[in-house]
Amino acid sequence: MTHLDTAREIADRAVHQVVDWDAPTPCADWTTRELLNHLTAEQLWVPHLLRGETVDDVGDRYDGDVLGADPVATWERANAGAARAWRGVPDDRTVHLSSGDSPAAEYRWQMTLDLAVHGWDLARAAGVDPGVDDGLAEALVEEFSGQVEQWRGQIFDTEVDVADGAPPTDRLVALLGRDPGWRR
């Protein structure tokens, strides 16, 4: 199982535990529904981008509410479609992202981070254990520690201090500006 598969399972498990779609999340600007909408839209983009389409090709089709009346079912379809799209994609395939062209390996890491951390967010909002695997959290900290600063204030908040020896998941979410102790 890849890190992306593990992150996908974390997010999926969290989605299925949300009961209040208006609940606050560790992402202060988003409720659980808004956060799931973001996560689902990201997954809907995956097949297009992995086929070589550009951001302009996809356009605004995933702007606004993509969840409709059944958020969980919409998520399940998007998640399954993204998983299928990733099968067999070579690391060196060029993917046209909003930030510019990127190898598929880099896009895979970005999607892994998005799924794992937003899975953590949704699980916390639902009041359940996020279940982020230590190995995945360590890999994400290693991959993104040197990159996060360029996204501060745009995507990530100020890093939260954690104790020396904090668990890997706490270090990961703190790196991205989340309070590891956040509880609803």
DSSP the chain: --HHHHHHHHHHHHHTT---TT-B-SSTT-BHHHHHHHHHHHHHHHHHHHTT--HHHHTTTTSS---TT-HHHHHHHHHHHHHHHHTT--TT-EEEETTEEEEHHHHHHHHHHHHHHHHHHHHHHHTS-----HHHHHHHHHHHTTTGGGGBTTTB-PPPP--TT--HHHHHHHHTT--TT---
pLDDT tens-place values along the chain, 184 residues long: 899 999 999 999 999 999 999 999 998 889 999 999 999 999 999 999 999 999 999 999 999 999 999 999 999 999 999 999 999 999 999 999 998 999 999 999 999 999 999 999 999 999 999 999 999 999 999 999 888 777 666 677 777 889 989 999 999 999 888 999 998 7
Cβ-based neighbours of 61, under 8 Å, separated by 6 or more: none
Cα separation, 133 vs 135, in Å, equals: 5
**Residue type at 5?**
D
- CATH classification code of 3-128: 1.20.120.450
Q: State phi, psi for 178 to the nearest 5 degrees.
A: -105, 145
What's the pTM value of the predicted model, to 2 decimals? 0.94
